[in-house]
Structure 1
Amino acid sequence: MIETKICFVFKEGRGGSGDKMWSSEQSEEQEQEPLLGQVRGGSASFSSSVFNLMNAIMGSGILGLAYAMANTGIIGFTLLLILVSSLAVYSIHLLLTLCDQTGISAYETLGDRAFGRPGRILVACTILVQNIGAMSSYMFILKSELPAVISSFLSPVHDGGVWYENGVLLLILVTVCVVLPLALLPKIGFLGYTSSLAFLFMLFFTVVVVLKKFYIPCPPTLNSTQIFGQNVSDCRARMFVISSKSVYAVPTMAFSFLCHTAILPIYCELQRATKQRMQQVTNVSISLSFILYFISALFGYLTFYNSVESELLLSYDVYRPRDVLVVIVRLAVLLAVLLTVPLIHFPARKAVLMLVKGEESISFLSHCLATFLLITTVVLLAVYVPDIRNIFGVVGSTTSTCLLFVYPGLFFLRVSTHTLPSPAAVGALCLVLFGVCVGFLSLVTITVSLVQS
C-alpha cells in the first residue's frame, strides 16, 4: 500500500481555521493525484465540539426572537424558524461536502479554490467585517449594560461615581482579564469549557423566561385597547401576523443561526474527524439551539404579547424594574456574550493572517500581534463609536447572509462535481437565491429603520 499522510492542524476558533498549518506530506507516487478530503482529527471531544458550535450559534440574537414572534405569529414564526434552521444545516452540509472532496479546511481557501485570489480576499474581508462588527456590538452591550446590572445589586441609595459604574473602565477590565487570555489560546478546543458555561447561562435565561410567564399576569398598562372609553386587555396569542415589522423576522433568525466560519476549524479539531461525525455535531448543536430559541421566544411572547420589546429583557424592566431574578438573568446573558467574544475573535484573526501572510506558517509572534491588534480595534470601536450597532447592522445584514447562504451555495456550484440540473446543484442554487433575497431584505429593512429613527 502507498502511505499518504495529510495533516491539517488549525489553531483557531469560532469560524476561523488555525493560525498554524503544517503542509501535507504526500508520497511521490501520488503527487499527480487530486487531493482527497482526509482530515486528521484533533483532541476535541464530541461534547466539547457541540458546546463550541452552540456558543458560536447563540448570542444576543436570542433576545430578539420573541419580538419576531410577535410580528409573525406563533405558527408563522415556527415555520420560518424551521426553514432558516434547515437551510443553515443544509449550507453546512455543502461546506462539509466540499471539505471532504477537496481536503480544504478553511473557508478562505474554499473561496480561493472557487474564484482564485479575489475569492479568498473577498471571503476573508467578509469574515473580518462580520466578526469585528459582532465583537464590537457585544463589547458595546457590555459597556452599556454591565454598570447598570452591578448597580441593580446595590442599595437604591448609594453614592454614584464609583469605578464599577464606569462602563469604559469595566469594559477594559473584562477585556484584559477575560477576553484577551481566552483569545490568545492556540486551539478552539480549549474553549469548550467556557462554551459549556455560556450554554448554561443561556439555558438559565430560557428557564427564567418560562417561569416568569406564570408569575407575570397580562399587563393591562402594556397590552390594552380602548373600547367604550375603557382599557381592555388584549392578551391574545396570534397564530399568523403580517405587518411592516414582519420583515425583521427572517434577518433576525438568519443572524441567530450564523456559525459557518466555526464549522471547519471545529471539524479539524474533532476526535475521529469524519464528515458524518461533524454533521452529527452540527445537527445536535442546531437542534439544541432551535429548542432554546423557540421556548424562550414562545414564553417571552406569551408573557407580553404584542407589547414585547425588541430586546426581551427590556420588557421585564418596564413591568418589573429591579426584579432580582431578572437582574441575575441579565448578568447571565452578559456573561454568555462575554464568553462568546473570544470564540468570534478566532476567525477574525485567521482572516487577518490569511490576508497578510496567505498560506504561510504563522509564528507565535504573528499570532499575538494579530490578537492584540484586533482586540484593541474592537475595544476602541465600542468606546468611541456611539452607534456601532447601527453601523455594523447595515454591513452585517449582508455579510451574515453571504456567509450563511450565498458563499456555501456558490462554492458548491463552482467546485463540486455536481452540475445543473442535478438535485444537489439545484439545492445550492436555491440557497444562493434565498440568501440574496434575505440580504437585500435585511439591508432595506435596517436602512429604512435608521432613516425613520
Structure 2
Amino acid sequence: MEAKNQENYSLTIPLVLNSGDVEQGQEEYTNNINNASFISTCFNCLNSLSGVGILSIPYALASGGWLSLILLFIIASSTFYTGLLIKRCMDADPTIRSYPDIGDRAFGKTGRMIVSITMNVEFYLVATGFLILESDNLSNLFPHVSFDISGTRIGLKHGFLILVAFILLPTSCFNSMSVLSYISASGVLASMLILGSIFWAGAFDHIGFHEKGKVINWNGLPSAISLYTFCYCAHPVFPTLYTSMRNQRQFSKVLFICFALCTVTYSLMAIIGYLMFGSKAESQITLNLPTHHISSRVAICTTLVTPIAKYALMLTPIVNTIETHFQSSCNKKLFNSIVRTILLISTVIVALSIPFFGYLMSLVGALLSATGSITIPCLCYLKISGIYKKNGIELVIVGFVVMIGLVVGVVGTYVSLVDIIHHL
C-alpha cells in the first residue's frame, strides 16, 4: 500500500528503506534494489501494520464481546499465513516486484487489474477515514467552536473537516517518496504513545477499569471481525519489504515478529479500552476520553497528527496508477498536483456524505482488507504453486483461509452497508 502505505490502513507505507544492491549469490532481476537489514525491515513492517486501527479496536471488542478476541487471533493467524503465501509466490517467480505483479503472474491482466483496484480503493477509503477521524477528534477537543461562511453556519464536524482539508492540501501535493517516507516515520511511536496515554488515563486519571462487558454479542460479531481484519491490511506492501531485504530468507521471521507484536498491542488496547468504557466505547477510543486530562490530550493530539502526516501517503499509489493509465502531455508535476487536489476534494465529499468512521472502516475491513489480505493471496498462491491440482493438508489449510476471507467479506460487507444506510 505506501506504497500501505500503506498505513490501519491501520494503513501502511514502508519507511525509508536502505538503498544498495542485494547480495545473495544469485542473479537479480532489477538493477536498483534496496539493501535493508533485518531490524530495518522489522521496523518498516511494524509501521505498515500500525495504523488507525488501534483506535477502533476497543469498539470492535465492545461490538463482539470478550469471546470475539478469539476472532482477533484467528484473523491475525490467517493474515500472517497469507503473508507467508505472498513470500512463496515471489520465491516462485523472482520477476515479481509488487503486489499487482502477483495478480498478473497468477491470473494475467485481469488479476493485475483486480489487485490494483482493490488496493487503490482501500487507500482511498482509508484516506477518507482520516478526514472523518480528524473532524471527530477536533470536535471533541474544541466543542464550542463555530463556523460561519457568508453568514451561513456550518456544523461543527463539517467545519473541522473542511478546515482539515485545507491543511492537508499542501501535504497532498508532495510527490517525493523520500520526503513522505520520513514523514511517516512516527507511525510505530505514535501507536505506542496512544496506548500508553490511554492506559495512563485509566490507571491514574480516575477513569478506572471497572466495566465488565459482555461475554458475547452475536449481533455485533460481523462488525467486530471486519474491524479486526482492517487492523491487518498491510499485505500490499509486503512485496516491497521482501525485495528490500539483504537476506530475504529472514522475511518469515520478520512477519512472525511483527504480527506477534502488533497482535499483543491490539489486544492490550482492546482490553484496556473495553475495561474502561464497556459497551459505551466509541468508534475511536479517543472520543471517550475526558479532554481536561493531560494524558487524554496527548492521546488525542497524537491521533490528530498521525493522519495529517500519512494522508499524502495514501494518495501516492492512486496518483501513480492514474499517471500510468493517463499519460499526460502536460507538465508531470502539474498533472500530479491536479490529480491529488481532485482526489482530496472527492474524499472530502465522501467524508461529508458518510461521516461514520467505525462503519466506514468496518466496510473497508470486510470488503477490501479481507479481499486484499486474505482471499487474493490464497487464490494467487493456489494458481502459481499449482497445489490446487493436488490433494494434501496444505490445500485444506489454504481452502479454509479462503473461506474465512469470503465469510468476512460477504457477511461483514452486508452488515456494514446496512449500518451506513441506516444512519444516513
Relative to the length of structure 2, the TM-score reads 0.80
Match 1:407 to one of 354, 360, 376: 376
Query: Using the alignment, how far apart are the partners of 2:193 and 2:13 within structure 1?
Result: 31
Asked if the contact 1:37/1:100 (under 8 Å) is kept, the reply is no
Q: Does residue 246 of structure 2 align to residue 272 of structure 1?
A: yes
Query: Using the alignment, how far apart are the partners of 1:282 and 1:101 within structure 2?
Result: 19
Higher Cα Rg, which structure: 1
The within-5 A match list for 1:124-135 is 124-135=116-127
What is residue 235 of structure 1 aligned with on the other side?
Answer: 211
Bigger mean CA deviation after superposition, 42-51 or 292-301: 42-51
Q: How many residues align?
A: 393
Query: Using the alignment, how far apart are the partners of 1:14 and 1:102 within structure 2?
Result: 24
Shift of 1:134: 1.0
Query: Using the alignment, how far apart are the partners of 1:11 and 1:288 within structure 2?
Result: 21
Match 1:172 to one of 166, 189, 198: 166
Relative to the length of structure 1, the TM-score reads 0.75
Structure 1 residues 311 and 44, CA, compared in 2 at 3 Å: closer, same or farther? same
Shift of 1:376: 3.2
Asked if the contact 2:82/2:378 (under 8 Å) is kept, the reply is yes
Shift of 1:315: 1.8
What does the per-residue CA deviation read over 1:184-233, in whole Å, with 9 as the maximum and x for residues that have no partner?
Answer: 1246xx655444412212111101121222235568xxx9xxxxxxxxxx
Asked if the contact 1:45/1:271 (under 8 Å) is kept, the reply is yes
The within-5 A match list for 1:37-56 is 41-56=33-48
Query: Using the alignment, how far apart are the partners of 1:72 and 1:169 within structure 2?
Result: 35
> Aligned residues: percent identity?
18
What is residue 329 of structure 1 aligned with on the other side?
Answer: 299
Could you list the runs of 5+ residues in structure 1 that have no partner in the other structure?
Answer: 1-9, 19-34, 224-233
The within-5 A match list for 1:11-90 is 12=3, 14=5, 41-74=33-66, 76-90=67-81
Asked if the contact 1:208/1:329 (under 8 Å) is kept, the reply is yes
Partner AA of 2:381 in structure 1: F
Structure 1 residues 441 and 262, CA, compared in 2 at 3 Å: closer, same or farther? same
Question: Counterpart of 2:34 in 1: which secondary structure?
Answer: coil
Q: Does residue 196 of structure 2 align to residue 207 of structure 1?
A: yes
What is residue 305 of structure 1 aligned with on the other side?
Answer: 278
Query: Using the alignment, how far apart are the partners of 1:136 and 1:415 within structure 2?
Result: 34
Instruction: Report the RMSD for the aligned CA atoms in angstroms.
Output: 3.7
Shift of 1:120: 1.4
What does the per-residue CA deviation read over 1:283-336, in whole Å, with 9 as the maximum and x for residues that have no partner?
Answer: 2322222122111111111112232223212222xxx34333212211101212
Structure 1 residues 161 and 52, CA, compared in 2 at 3 Å: closer, same or farther? farther
Match 1:422 to one of 369, 392, 415: 392
What is residue 222 of structure 2 aligned with on the other side?
Answer: 247
Query: Using the alignment, how far apart are the partners of 2:146 and 2:72 within structure 1?
Result: 46
Query: Using the alignment, how far apart are the partners of 1:17 and 1:167 within structure 2?
Result: 24
Query: Using the alignment, how far apart are the partners of 1:56 and 1:145 within structure 2?
Result: 23
Bigger mean CA deviation after superposition, 411-420 or 45-54: 45-54
